[in-house]
């Protein structure tokens, strides 16, 4: 059975102020060679579940060198090795770990503390963000006012700029992959679909992957794509945060119609939603169908220079010195109070389960982590569940009349033998061998 979260001043700080400063921060891990095992941590509650396993709130159980006992918290993502192997996701998990280990620290990108494994599972120990994900807060409020949208988009402009500067195309921006820390600032999580080695706005990746509502036109048209696809996703996210639903949400059940709209139809704001002219021009610029003409195609600085962000004190934003529009609840007796009960009531030791229909996916015969969550009933339907399946080419072929034989994976030589690997926080994606061959 799971142990209850540590209580009292020793675990969470002697005062609310100390608590706010320390929650979600785990002291620096010692060198990975020390050989962490899951037994070194107390697993308190489940805070997330996906196709390959679950994520738990955890704390060091023993007095580990450089860590101590009960001195901090982390999120441990646990992925079942058999499921990863069965669905050909082990290489994607390895790529996720390599990306997280290789990225320099950034205030708006989640930190990986350690990656380890045992005979049954792969584990990532990461920063714990006690504020929950942005989907949870959007669900509570239905939509955000424009200043709040600007606050979050400004952070994402910096985070995406950081990823792109280090050759990473993120490929799965959505509210579920954005966590709030104790101060109410964003952290980008889940690099399972990310692709390293991309240094262009319009080229470097081919695989159709991500969450359907956020896919860029060039991704669907199989012309090759690059960092501009992430800026398109930021535009879709900005629309969703302001309106409460993504564009063409009524087509969520019919992916053929949804994909046609993405590629051929303009994005239209609902008449009843009050937005400024500046916000409209931002959406028009960042949602251009042509990636070479899209806002951000010339780099993150171009996005930051848009009038929507006029007056943003970027240095203070990076330092988290601005008041956040949403301050997460802080309960020293319940460090998971900002996570939905559908997760927190799952027993920590319950058998990992592969859940059903969901949203992040890889098309063209690739394995799909489909976490597509229907939002048709004012965000009441949860999109958090996942389905793992293989897709044939018929969906995109019948939608656009095109042939889709290429992907990030090299077509000619047989795939190399997959090796077991150590993985981390967030969800499967981004295959190392496939992307390296592209």
Kindly list the catalytic residues.
172
Q: Which is it for strands 112-117 and 74-80: parallel, antiparallel or unpaired?
A: unpaired
First to last CA, the chain: 45
Which run of H or of E encompasses 135? Answer: helix 134-141
Which run of H or of E encompasses 140? Answer: helix 134-141
DSSP code of 324?
Answer: P
Tokens representing 212? 């359907």
* Nearest 10 degrees: Cα torsion 431, 259, 225, 87: 10
How far, in Å, CA of 371 to CA of 357, rounded?
6
3-state secondary structure of 300: helix
DSSP string, 301-320: HHHHTSGGGTT--HHHHHTT
Which run of H or of E encompasses 348? Answer: none
Q: Where are the beta strands (DSSP E) in 202-289?
A: 209-210
Distances (CA, A) of 58 to 44, 50, 61: 6, 18, 9
How many residues make up the chain in this entry? 438
- What does the buried/exposed string (b/e) look like for 8-29 if buried means 16 or more CB atoms within 10 Å of the residue's CB? eeebbbeeeeebbebbbbbeeb
DSSP code of 32?
Answer: G
Distances (CA, A) of 417 to 3, 65, 97, 197: 39, 36, 19, 22
Q: Which is it for strands 209-210 and 178-180: parallel, antiparallel or unpaired?
A: unpaired
Residue 422's CB: how many other CB atoms inside 10 A?
16
DSSP code of 14?
Answer: S
How far, in Å, CA of 231 to CA of 45, rounded?
34
- What does the buried/exposed string (b/e) look like for 169-184 if buried means 16 or more CB atoms within 10 Å of the residue's CB? bbbbbbbbbbbbbbbb
194: left (phi over 0), alpha (psi -120 to 50) or beta: beta
Phi and psi (nearest 5°) for 408? -60, -25
Strand partners, 112: 126
Q: Is 77 annotated as a binding residue?
A: yes
Q: Residue ranges for the binding site for ATP? A: 77
Which residue ranges are tagged as binding site? 77
């Amino acid at each position: 059975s799971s142990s209850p979260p540590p209580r009292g001043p020793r675990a969470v700080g002697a005062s609310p102020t100390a608590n706010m400063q320390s929650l979600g921060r785990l002291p620096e891990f010692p060198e990975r060679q020390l050989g962490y095992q899951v037994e070194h941590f107390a697993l308190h509650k489940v805070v997330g579940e996906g196709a390959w396993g679950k994520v738990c709130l955890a704390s060091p159980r023993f007095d580990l060198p450089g860590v101590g006992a009960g001195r901090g918290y982390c999120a441990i993502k646990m992925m079942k090795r058999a499921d990863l192997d069965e669905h050909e996701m082990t290489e994607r998990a390895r790529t996720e770990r390599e990306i997280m280990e290789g990225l320099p620290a950034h205030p708006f990108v989640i930190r990986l503390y350690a990656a380890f494994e045992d005979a049954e599972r792969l584990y990532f120990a990461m920063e714990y963000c006690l504020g929950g994900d942005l989907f949870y807060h959007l669900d509570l409020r239905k939509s955000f006012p424009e200043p709040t949208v600007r606050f979050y988009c400004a952070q994402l402009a910096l985070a995406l700029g950081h990823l792109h500067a280090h050759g990473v195309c993120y490929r799965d921006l959505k509210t579920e992959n954005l966590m709030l820390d104790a101060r109410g600032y964003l952290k980008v999580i889940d690099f399972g679909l990310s692709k390293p080695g991309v240094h262009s706005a319009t080229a470097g990746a081919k695989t159709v992957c991500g969450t359907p509502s956020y896919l860029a036109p060039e991704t669907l048209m199989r012309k090759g794509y690059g960092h501009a696809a992430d800026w398109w996703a930021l535009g879709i996210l900005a629309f969703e945060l302001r309106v409460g639903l993504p564009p063409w949400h009524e087509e969520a059940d019919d992916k053929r119609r949804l994909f046609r709209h993405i590629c051929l139809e303009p994005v239209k704001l609902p008449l009843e939603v009050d937005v400024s002219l500046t916000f409209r021009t931002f959406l028009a610029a960042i949602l251009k169908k042509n990636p070479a003409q899209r806002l951000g195609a010339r780099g993150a600085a171009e996005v930051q220079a848009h009038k929507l962000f006029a007056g943003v004190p970027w240095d203070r934003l990076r330092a988290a010195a601005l008041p956040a529009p949403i301050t997460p609840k802080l309960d020293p007796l319940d460090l998971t109070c900002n996570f939905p009960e559908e997760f927190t009531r799952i027993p920590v030791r319950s058998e990992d389960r592969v859940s059903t229909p969901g949203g992040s996916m890889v098309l063209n015969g690739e394995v799909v982590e489909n976490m597509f969550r229907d939002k048709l009933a004012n965000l009441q339907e949860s999109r958090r569940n996942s389905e793992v399946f293989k897709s044939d080419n018929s969906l995109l072929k019948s939608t656009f009349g095109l042939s889709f034989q290429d992907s990030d994976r090299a077509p000619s030589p047989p795939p190399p033998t997959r090796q077991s690997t150590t993985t981390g926080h967030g969800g499967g994606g981004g295959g190392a061998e496939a992307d390296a061959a592209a």
